[in-house]
Amino acid sequence: MHVFIKKDYQELSRAAAAMVAAAIRERPDLVAALPTGGTPVGMLRELVRLHQTEGLDFSKARILNIDEYVPLGPDHPQSYYRYLQEFLYQNVNINQTNTFVPDVRAADLQAACAAYDQRIAGLGGIDLMVLGIGGDGHIGFNEPAAELSADTHVADLSAETIRDNSRFFETVAEVPRQAATMGVGVILQARKILLLASGRSKGAVINRLLTQRTVTPHFPASLLLLHRDVTVMVDEAAAAAE
């Protein structure tokens, strides 16, 4: 694991965007998977800035959502597809047909998840996976459990995640209880992984990720220890163990 500690959220966002931009410049048809939530917003804004000021070219890039709430469609204000649309797609020259999300409104959700994995395979696999991390150590929506699914699947959200994510909704009751998410096998098959964390609220989970040398499904981020090319980028607040 390569670990980088940046001074603050702005520097973290710049460094993360620089890594994504370098990957796109090296391989213009990069296949990238992107997270949502509060953490990646600065990185996405910086990518838009690089597009506007330096002509960073997204015209051939392929981008996938890591996860999506069931059953929020692409037009729902809190859907994760809409999030990437707002923060990235509508501000850069990406071809919409190169943007992907699990079809969470399908009648057969299991088939929709399997189709997503086939789509990923059809794209030749994921070159760069950018991850956030939940307060309980979840990656994507792979929540702590006795067993973790390798493939894309529908997951029940934990009470902690529902509470954490309620800040994006009017009330806790509106937070969806399920999401389709890439499984841990899909995540670990990405050729390169960049995990981002910012702020004191992530201090405990980052401390655990950087010090624990055992792998357990009860702390899904620990599976990243099995991957050969993981970069963890955090700001000083998230690096300061309690």
Q: Which residues are catalytic?
A: 67, 136, 138, 143
**How far is the C-alpha of 6 from the C-alpha of 188, rounded, in Å?**
25
Residues 6+ apart with CB under 8 A from 236: 5, 6, 7, 8
Whether the Cβ atoms of residue 4 and residue 15 lie closer than 8 Å to each other: yes
From CA 169, how far away is CA 157, in angstroms rounded? 15
Q: Does 217 interact with ligand GLP (rule: CB under 6 A)?
A: no
Nearer to ligand GLP, 60 or 73 (CB): 73
Cα(76)–Cα(131) distance, integer angstroms: 22
The residue assigned the tokens 């460094």 is: 15
38 binds ligand GLP (CB under 6 A): yes
The stretch near ligand GLP (CB under 6 A) out of 29-37, 49-57, 97-105, 170-178 is: 29-37
Check residue 176 for interaction with ligand GLP (CB under 6 A): no
Identify the residue among 161, 175, 184, 237 touching ligand GLP (CB under 6 A). 161
The least CB distance from residue 202 to ligand GLP, in Å, is: 7
226 by DSSP, 3-state: which? Answer: helix
Q: Which is nearer to ligand GLP, 161 or 222 (CB)?
A: 161
Question: Using CB under 6 A as the criterion, what x/- string covers residues 66-105 for binding ligand GLP?
Answer: xx--------------------------------------
Minimum distance between the CB of residue 148 and ligand GLP, rounded to whole angstroms? 15
Count the Cβ atoms, other than its own, within 10 Å of residue 85. 18
What distance in Å separates the CA atoms of residue 45 and residue 40, rounded to the nearest whole number? 9
Q: What six digits make up the tokens of 213?
A: 């040398």
Of the pair 103, 164, the CB lying nearest ligand GLP is at: 164
**Within the chain, where are the H helices?**
9-26, 41-54, 80-87, 109-122, 159-165, 184-188, 203-211, 236-239
* Per-residue binder mask for ligand GLP (CB under 6 A), 118-157, x = binder: --------------xxx-----xx----------------
Per CB under 6 A, which region of 1-9, 33-41, 42-50, 205-213 contacts ligand GLP? 33-41
Shortest spacing between CB 116 and ligand GLP, in angstroms: 15
Q: Of 37 and 217, which has the nearer Cβ to ligand GLP?
A: 37
CA dihedral (160, 163, 168, 174) in degrees, to 10, reads 120
Interface residues with ligand GLP (CB under 6 A)?
A: 35-39, 66-67, 132-134, 140-141, 161, 165
